[in-house]
Structure 1
Amino acid sequence: MGVPSDGLVRPSGGPDRREAILIRVIPYGALAVSTLLVLLADAKTPAQVWTTLGLAVTAAGWMLIVTLPGTSAPGPRLGGVYYAGLLVLFALLILRSPLFGLFGWTGYPQVAYLRGRWKQVGVVATALIVSVTYIGGFQSLGATTVPVYLILAAATGAVGMLFTFLELRQRATLDRLAEANAALEAALEENAGLHAQLLTQAREAGVLDERQRMAREIHDTLAQGFTGIVAQLEAARQNPGEWRRHADQAQALARDNLAEARRSVEALRPPHLDKARLPEAISGLSERWSRTSGISVGVETTGEPRPMLPDVEVALFRVAQEALTNVAKHAGASRVGLTLSYLDDVVLLDVRDDGVGFDPAADGRGFGLTSMRQRLLRVAGRLEIESSPGEGTAINATVPALTVGANP
């Protein structure tokens, strides 16, 4: 816990910053004004002057116990001793002159140095001492003035008790709010740390999954293609009369492998995103795919498009590309619709077709859906699939709207 700027280190229930200012400044001001009034109006002899000054200096020195710069608020025991001494000084000063009642009133804010029920005791004691000034001082106490004094003391004490009770309730409420705020801040810090940790783990998992996907793709395409080329060359050596046929097949395999190698390299960074924004890149991809597949494609963008982090845009572009590839291979669809939606905190990509559909729980669809999930996982996104046999397929990709310049 930090030290308040007023220099006081307070337990719960001690004075706050506003009260600390009252305790440090107002008592000295009230003491100085009271002393000046007494010297001007009620100090006729040198003895009275020196008595007044001596009591005032003693009171000022006593208050230094808790008001010196760098001093801490007294604990419950020392606070009680300090306040008891202050009450004695109030009584002596008012005994010297009722004009010191102005200084006596500073006892009410200083009950903040007391704890619990001792605050009420301090209020009552202060009221008993200060109320005597209303009848002219201790010298005026008599059979006729005591009833008036008691009534005034009871009224003053009741008002002081009421304000003290309200102050205690307010302080208890503030303490509970402070505890709740501290707990909330701790929870927010913990959640922020967990979010950062999860995002880091998701990225690491995405990188690992991407490496595994590339390894599987190389094994399933390039490695098998090279194996086929080697087999054709060996067959040509063993059958010289058919070398041209085997050479043509080897050449075809080599071209296919070259195309696969280029596709794998492009999968790392789509060149389309270097030349256009994501909506335009997806529209261009869809148009090229439609010309090749002969399937009608509709592309729609909603919301206000804005530049996202490269990883986010690449993930969405590859999901759209993989989804269209799956439609061409498996769906038997006549129409496909793509919708790119920019919301406040997320970006959505929906790909829907009117094809044959499938059971997502039973059909893994090769590496296509797995690849899409892995790409989205890398940017803390998610993939949802809605499909059933004969009812088409809907693929929904959601990623955080991490704009350029954001720190995820």
Structure 2
Amino acid sequence: MGNIRGWDIAVVSAAAILFALVLANGAEGGELVGAGAVIVAIIVVWFALGRGSEDGSPRAITVSALIVVLSGVGTAISPSMATAQAIAFPLLWLLAGSTRAAVVANVSLAVSVGTGYFLYLGGTWSALSQAVVIEAISLAGSFAIGFWITRISEESAERARLIDELRETQAQLEAVSRDAGAMGERERLAREIHDTIAQDLTGLVLLAQRTRRELVSGSPTVGETVDLLEDSARTALAETRSLVAASAPVALAEGGIRAALDRLASRFGRETGIVVGVVGETPPLDRDTEVVLLRCAQEGLANVRKHSAASNATLELTVDETSVTLIVRDDGDGFDPALENDGFGLSGMRDRLTLVGGTLAIASSPGVGTSLTATLPRSAVLA
């Protein structure tokens, strides 16, 4: 029902003003007592029934009917009581459960007050015409204000509904965004783990197998292999710590991408016996671009180790006006790129490049080696 306390004040204030008008118009005797009784009755009806009723409820309908009747009776006793419409019309709009019910209640009030006028003025044709004119004007004013307030109320309710829907939609979008962010982070971690820790562990397994063979055969190079095994383990540990700290790869800590590729090639050659050459220089690159290039180089060499049976490989780094390109080339067995590949490495490399606007091209055929070409936009290069 809105602000009940405000309506309490309005009803009491209107009753006081109404009684003052009755006195000012010279009412006395029975007219004064009757008008006063009606005013008190209106106050009692409001505080006893009206202020706690729900819009359109049977209780509200009862209050509306009593207000209509009391207003008409009051006007029949004293014409000054017609001023009660000033508070009665708004109360009827307030108590009605719908616009149609409010219109019916307002028309009933106008008829009731008009009848009171007609009776007070003697029931003549002149009194009837006067009552009709006065109540028509009053009713028109009530309709104008009532419909205007109703439209504002409906628009406010619609805005409130739209705001609630917007908030609900925002909450859903936030949930979707969180899920997408979590999924993206899981995919990123999967790529990082595959390109770093998983490859390092693969190298450790191979070095452990090599160490066992050298120990069995009594090879004099077993000490060198153990040193390499320890170095690989330390590198894996450092990469793990770097991943946990969400920082750039340890290999990029000094010298940029070219130095990191040199270290990667040297370590890979010592672990596998495959000779890896590094070709090309680049201008300074931003760290994110260097990370992508290094991960692509690591994955490319991991594929060389696992599948190629190559004796030589090359990491070729070039920059032109539009792009930065890394080519991982080997002289191994090669394969048919058209065949379905269920591994994670190449798809992970392609996804990583796609995230930065890059592309991956694969050129290979059985018996002639493989060439992986990773291309990033030239905009990634710093001036």
Where in structure 2 are the equivalents of 1:231-246 lying within 5 Å? Answer: 231-236=213-218, 246=219
Is 193-202 or 57-66 further displaced after alignment? 193-202
Deviation at 1:55, TM superposition (A): 2.2
Cross-structure match for 2:158: 176
- Residue 283 (structure 2) pairs with residue 298 (structure 1): yes
Partners of 1:225 and 1:253 within 8 A in 2? yes
Cross-structure match for 1:251: 223
Do the aligned partners of residues 53 and 153 (structure 1) sit closer, same or farther apart at CA in structure 2, a change above 3 Å counting?
A: closer
Where in structure 2 are the equivalents of 1:337-376 lying within 5 Å? Answer: 352-353=324-325, 355=327
The one-letter code matched in structure 1 to 2:199 is E
Cross-structure match for 2:266: none
Deviation at 1:228, TM superposition (A): 0.7
Q: Secondary structure at the match of 2:125?
A: coil
Deviation at 1:214, TM superposition (A): 6.8
Where in structure 2 are the equivalents of 1:52-131 lying within 5 Å? Answer: 52-66=35-49, 68=51, 71-110=52-91, 111-116=93-98, 117-130=100-113
Cross-structure match for 2:260: 289
Q: Secondary structure at the match of 1:27?
A: helix
* Paired residues, number: 334
Do the aligned partners of residues 320 and 101 (structure 1) sit closer, same or farther apart at CA in structure 2, a change above 3 Å counting?
A: farther
The one-letter code matched in structure 1 to 2:280 is I
Q: How large is the RMSD of aligned CA atoms in angstroms?
A: 4.5
**Structure 1 portions without partners, runs of 5+:** 1-7, 9-15, 237-245, 302-312, 340-350, 397-408
Cross-structure match for 1:34: 18
Instruction: Compare CA radii of gyration and give the structure with the larger one.
Output: 2
Structure number with the bigger relative contact order (C-alpha 8 A, sep ≥ 6) is: 1
Do the aligned partners of residues 57 and 137 (structure 1) sit closer, same or farther apart at CA in structure 2, a change above 3 Å counting?
A: same
Q: Percent identity?
A: 14
Deviation at 1:61, TM superposition (A): 0.8
Do the aligned partners of residues 283 and 145 (structure 1) sit closer, same or farther apart at CA in structure 2, a change above 3 Å counting?
A: farther
Do the aligned partners of residues 103 and 331 (structure 1) sit closer, same or farther apart at CA in structure 2, a change above 3 Å counting?
A: farther
The one-letter code matched in structure 2 to 1:99 is S
1:99-155 Cα shifts (integer Å, max 9, x gaps): 23333211221222113311111222233345679x798336522232233233233
- Residue 142 (structure 2) pairs with residue 160 (structure 1): yes
- Residue 206 (structure 2) pairs with residue 224 (structure 1): yes
Q: Distance in 2 between matches of 1:259 and 1:363?
A: 36
Cross-structure match for 1:269: 241
Partners of 1:79 and 1:113 within 8 A in 2? yes
1:368-387 Cα shifts (integer Å, max 9, x gaps): 5566689x7xxxx9566424
Do the aligned partners of residues 331 and 363 (structure 1) sit closer, same or farther apart at CA in structure 2, a change above 3 Å counting?
A: farther
**Structure 2 portions without partners, runs of 5+:** 264-277, 305-312, 330-335, 364-371, 378-383
Q: Distance in 1 between matches of 2:209 and 2:261?
A: 33
Q: Which of 108, 118, 143 in structure 1 is aligned with 2:125?
A: 143
Q: TM-score, normalised by structure 2?
A: 0.68
